[in-house]
Amino acid sequence: MPHIVRPLVVALVATIGDFIWFEYGVRHTTTAGIVHGAALLLAVGIVLGHAAGALANGSLGGIVAGVAGALAFYAVAGTLGYLGGLIAAWAFMWIVLAAINAWLRHGVGRVGEWLARGAVAAVSSGAAFYFVSGIWTDHTPDGGRNYVWHLVAWTIAWAPGLFAVTFVRAKDAQVGG
């Protein structure tokens, strides 16, 4: 799956999630947040698993990352506030995803490498996420939501992190690295 397709897959699932939250009036509860995290990160796990040739393990890893990220948010949001909790959970989620990607590629022992990838993913996707964060407040003139823009915005938000986590140098790819 080409690098550009990876964030599109995740963005599509995120946009469907937005549609469900907004159009069906899903209340923000811990249970809804955990289910949303698991479903969204399942898509990320599928992307990671596909890239590593380990689809089933990637899918499982994505669900684990989604539940872990959601639980991290709810664990710290009371102390850090909503935005602080979101930022902390976002960073934690990228570290977990980098570890899962390393596990999928048999590189979990290279802790420094996957921690660095996770940190780069968290910062770069965090900046992109901030750049497009108006998707929840910017509505069409009739008060509706522009889900095409949501798809574009989520693609922008997820792309840098997915690239940071899944990037493989050409010479390493040739030797199975």
pLDDT for res 172: 57
Report DSSP state, residue 168: -
Beta-carbon neighbour count of residue 31 at 10 Å?
A: 9
Instruction: Supply 38's token pair.
Output: 């698991």
Look at the chain and report how many structural domains it folds into: 1
pLDDT for res 177: 47
Amino acid at 26: V
3-state class (DSSP) for residue 53: coil
Tell me what the mean pLDDT of segment 87-114 comes to: 96
Q: State if pTM tops 0.75.
A: yes
Q: Are 135 and 150 in contact (CB under 8 A)?
A: yes
Instruction: Supply 139's token pair.
Output: 């509505």
The residue segments making up the domain with residue 146 are 5-174
Instruction: Supply 129's token pair.
Output: 């996420």
pLDDT for res 176: 47
Placement of tokens 């780069």 in the chain: 120
pLDDT for res 175: 43
**What's the half-sphere exposure (Cβ side, CA atoms, 13 Å) at 9?**
19
d(CA 38, CA 44): 10
**How do residues 41-97 score in pLDDT, each as one tens digit?**
999 999 999 999 999 999 999 999 999 999 999 999 999 999 999 999 999 999 999
d(CA 28, CA 48): 28
**How do residues 115-174 score in pLDDT, each as one tens digit?**
999 999 999 999 999 999 877 666 667 777 889 999 999 999 999 999 999 987 655 554
pLDDT for res 109: 95
Amino acid at 84: G
93 Cβ contact list (under 8 Å, min separation 6): 41, 65, 66, 68, 69, 72, 122
pLDDT for res 170: 54
